[in-house]
């Protein structure tokens, strides 16, 4: 048969066996097979976002700028600690950027399955592609706001430290955190449709308990805080991400509190594992429930 040699997402003619539970067997292989679809969905989201060019780009510039302004103002009002030689705006910006990335990636991923329900009921592909691809748009937004940060640094004549080379690692950590929580909530959203009301609250609350307006040293070095509170504070995975970003951009002026940082990272990884496991468990019934 002539068509047999044709490739399908890079695969030759295949033999597929469908049985209860087979989806589990070839899951990661399938995910790789469907990587083309992943990029197409990401490409679609990017196109749609930047289709109305003015609003699209303005939004990705305006959102971090507004958060930055508000957070810097709050930090200034409460006179939070600023390391020697670092302008307040840059200290806050180094946190606003990863925070905005995390919060938008997490919310987009959470709602993605519901938003694409027509796809889920009409075609087969590993469902993980949907929440994962939404994060790509947020990465583009991240790059835009990173440029803003560089401009800001230029304006203040502030040179980033050489630690900046490690920035991609911390971006990856932010991505892992957003993906872990995003897929978990996305799966919950399919079954418990009112869960979507919880997400904006989580984002809002997260902003208060993450070191955006202040810095982690305010907490860790606070003489009056019981150490239990400090540990609970460090369990917030975004503490690790933001502290990492500041360490990369501001260098020695913003040292990492290592035990707290390791706890944050561990929680991020745990969230990813839990999120993926729950997603995989629920995935089989998505098409029946959604």
Partner 1 sequence: MAEEMIRVEGLSKSYTLQHRKAERYTALRDVITEGARGLFRSKGDAVSSEEFFALRDVSFSVKAGDRLGIIGRNGAGKSTLLKVLSRITEPTKGRITLNGRVASLLEVGTGFHPELSGRENIYLNGAILGMGRAEINAKFDEIVAFAEVERFLDTPVKRYSSGMYVRLAFAVAAHLEPEILVVDEVLAVGDSAFQKKCLGKMEDVAGQGRTILFVSHNMETVLRLCDRALLLDGGRVAQDGPTEAVIRSYLNTGSGANSERTWKDHPRPPGGHGVQLRSVRVHDAQGRGKATFEVSERVGITMEYEVLTQGDVFTHSFNFHNEEGLNIFNTHDTVSPLRKSPRTKGIWSTTMWIQEHLLAEGIVTVGAAIIKVEPFTIYFQERDAVSFTVIDPMRGDSARGDYTLGFPGAVRPLCAWETRPLP
Q: Minimum CB separation from partner 1 for residue 178, in Å?
A: 22
CA dist 264 and 235 (Å) reads 5
Footprint (CB under 8 A) of partner 1, residues 73-132: 116, 118-125
3-state secondary structure (DSSP) of residue 11? strand
DSSP 165: G
Q: Minimum CB separation from partner 1 for residue 227, in Å?
A: 34
Task: For 221, list phi and psi in degrees, rounded to 5.
Answer: -95, 5
Among 55, 58, 147, 289, binds partner 1 (CB under 8 A): 289
Q: Does 222 bind partner 1 (CB under 8 A)?
A: no
Buried b (16+ CB within 10 A) or exposed e, 215-239: bbbebbeeeeeeeeebeebbebbbb
Q: Minimum CB separation from partner 1 for residue 200, in Å?
A: 15
Task: Provide the greatest CA pair distance for the chain.
Answer: 78
Nearer to partner 1, 49 or 257 (CB): 49
Nearer to partner 1, 199 or 212 (CB): 199
User: In whole angstroms, what separates CA 9 from the centre of its chain?
Assistant: 28
Point out which span in 4-12, 58-66, 75-83, 242-250 binds partner 1 (CB under 8 A).
4-12
Q: Are 181 and 106 in contact (CB under 8 A)?
A: yes
Q: Minimum CB separation from partner 1 for residue 285, in Å?
A: 8
- Residues near partner 1 (CB under 8 A), total: 47
Q: Minimum CB separation from partner 1 for residue 286, in Å?
A: 9
Sketch the per residue contact string, 5 through 34, with partner 1: x for CB under 8 A, - otherwise: -xxxxx--xxxxxxxxxxx-----------
Which DSSP helix (H) or strand (E) runs through 30?
Answer: helix 27-33
CA dist 112 and 190 (Å) reads 10
Task: For 11, list phi and psi in degrees, rounded to 5.
Answer: -115, 145
What count of Cα atoms within 13 Å lies in the side-chain half-sphere of residue 199?
26
Nearer to partner 1, 37 or 144 (CB): 37
Sketch the per residue contact string, 32 through 51, with partner 1: x for CB under 8 A, - otherwise: ----xx--x--xx--xx--x
Point out which span in 2-10, 56-64, 137-145, 235-243 binds partner 1 (CB under 8 A).
2-10
Q: Which residues bind partner 1 (CB under 8 A)?
A: 1, 3-4, 6-10, 13-23, 36-37, 40, 43-44, 47-48, 51, 116, 118-125, 190-195, 284, 287-290
């Amino acid at each position: 048969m002539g068509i047999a040699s044709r490739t399908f997402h890079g695969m030759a003619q295949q033999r597929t066996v469908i049985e209860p539970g087979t989806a589990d067997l070839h899951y990661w292989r399938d995910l790789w097979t469907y990587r083309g679809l992943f990029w197409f969905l990401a490409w679609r989201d990017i196109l749609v976002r930047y289709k109305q060019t003015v609003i699209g780009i303005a939004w990705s510039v305006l959102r971090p700028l507004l958060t930055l302004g508000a957070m810097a103002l709050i930090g200034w009002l409460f006179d939070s600690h600023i390391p020697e030689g670092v302008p307040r705006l840059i200290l806050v910006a180094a946190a606003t950027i990863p925070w905005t990335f995390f919060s938008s990636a997490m919310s987009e991923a959470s709602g993605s399955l519901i938003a694409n329900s027509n796809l889920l009921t009409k075609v087969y592909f590993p469902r993980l592609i949907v929440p994962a691809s939404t994060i790509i748009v947020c990465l583009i937004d991240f790059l835009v706001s990173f440029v803003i940060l560089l401009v800001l640094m230029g304006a203040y004549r502030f040179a980033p430290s050489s630690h900046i080379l490690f920035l991609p690692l911390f971006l990856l950590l932010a991505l892992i955190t957003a993906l872990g929580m995003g897929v978990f909530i996305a799966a919950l959203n399919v079954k418990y449709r009112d869960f979507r009301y919880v997400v904006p609250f989580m984002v809002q609350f997260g902003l208060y308990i993450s070191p955006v307006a202040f810095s982690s040293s305010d907490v860790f070095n606070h003489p009056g805080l019981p150490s239990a509170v400090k540990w609970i504070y460090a369990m917030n995975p975004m503490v690790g991400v933001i502290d990492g970003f500041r360490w990369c951009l501001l260098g020695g002026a913003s040292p990492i509190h290592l035990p707290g940082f390791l706890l944050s990272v561990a929680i991020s990884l745990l969230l990813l594992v839990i999120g993926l496991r729950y997603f995989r468990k629920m995935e089989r019934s998505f098409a029946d429930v959604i």
